[in-house]
Amino acid sequence: VRKKGRNLVSDPISNKGLAFPLSERDRLSVRGLVPPRILSIQEQERVIMDEYTRGWAARAEQEPEDEIIKSGVSPDNIRKWKVLQSVQDRNETLFYRILMDNFQDMAPIIYTPTVGWACSHFSQLYRRPRGMYFSHGDRGEMASMVYNWESDEVDAVVITDGSRILGLGDLGLGGLGISIGKLDLYVAAGGFHPRRVLPVVL
């Protein structure tokens, strides 16, 4: 593999998702760009197949007592969130154009309240890295890890420790969804450049 860092994890042929062992994460400059948990390809396959066979929007309909669903997040909100994430994965210019043109309608989809559902299901929804992950095992390494981020010019950093997310409690790594959603708002409404923002979870 000749690619490293974001180029590697953005390449669908070379990317292994969470299956990179620790030694490869350091050697290939992806430490911090992917969540610290290591999942084999088989484990990642089970996550995808669970979504394939059951679907999260359908699951939301089956869980009317879920606190997030009770708060007003509908299966249609979840569907819209997934559509927007799919667009952002393949064309950020289009994503931000759509968001800016439909800001009032889409802000509750990409942020509160729908982002609470996304955070609580983050491990099942993870497809592509969007931010940096610093775990307890990264103590003493954070200064070197930030060089794995593709841009050395960052105007805004939103950091979460994953606790107290929207009254849902400690969502750990899933809290990164809050940092991502907030920065999407900063880009669309505040004029920040999408390459100059950095979502972080500690």
My answer on whether 76 and 164 are in the same domain is: yes
Q: What separation in angstroms does the CA of 81 have from each of 106, 114, 132?
A: 9, 7, 21
Domain boundaries, position 140? 48-201
pLDDT score, position 65: 57
My answer on whether 57 and 133 are in the same domain is: yes
Instruction: Write the pLDDT tens digit of every residue in 74-125.
Output: 778 888 998 899 899 888 899 999 999 999 999 999 998 888 888 888 877 7
My answer on whether 183 and 157 are in the same domain is: yes
Q: What is the pTM of this model?
A: 0.80
My answer on whether 34 and 58 are in the same domain is: no
My answer on whether 28 and 62 are in the same domain is: no
pLDDT score, position 20: 95
Instruction: Write the pLDDT tens digit of every residue in 57-71.
Output: 565 556 655 555 566
Kindly report the average pLDDT of the chain as a whole number.
87
Q: How many domains does the chain contain in total?
A: 2
Q: What mean pLDDT comes out for the span 129-140?
A: 91
pLDDT score, position 167: 74
My answer on whether 78 and 173 are in the same domain is: yes
My answer on whether 31 and 69 are in the same domain is: no
**SS3 track for the chain:** CCCCHHHHHCCCCCCCHHHCCHHHHHHCCCECCECCCCCCHHHHHHHHHHHHHHCHHHHHHHCCCCHHHHCCCCHHHHHHHHHHHHHHHHCHHHHHHHHHHCHHHHHHHHCCCHHHHHHHCHHHHCCCCCCEECCHHHCCCHHHHHHHCCCCCCCEEEEECCCCCCCCCCCHHHHHHHHHHHHHHHHHHHCCCHHHEEEEEC
Is 129 a residue whose pLDDT tops 70? yes
pLDDT score, position 63: 60
Residues recognised as catalytic: 111, 182
What is the rounded CA–CA span in Å between residue 170 and residue 178?
12
Q: What mean pLDDT comes out for the span 39-50?
A: 86
What is the rounded CA–CA span in Å between residue 200 and residue 180?
8
My answer on whether 26 and 53 are in the same domain is: no
What is the rounded CA–CA span in Å between residue 19 and residue 42?
9
My answer on whether 5 and 66 are in the same domain is: no
Is 15 a residue whose pLDDT tops 70? yes
pLDDT score, position 58: 60
My answer on whether 192 and 134 are in the same domain is: yes
User: What would the two tokens of residue 107 be?
Assistant: 């802000």
pLDDT score, position 110: 93
Instruction: Write the pLDDT tens digit of every residue in 158-202.
Output: 999 988 887 778 888 889 999 999 999 999 999 999 999 999 999
My answer on whether 28 and 53 are in the same domain is: no
What is the rounded CA–CA span in Å between residue 59 and residue 132?
29
pLDDT score, position 147: 92
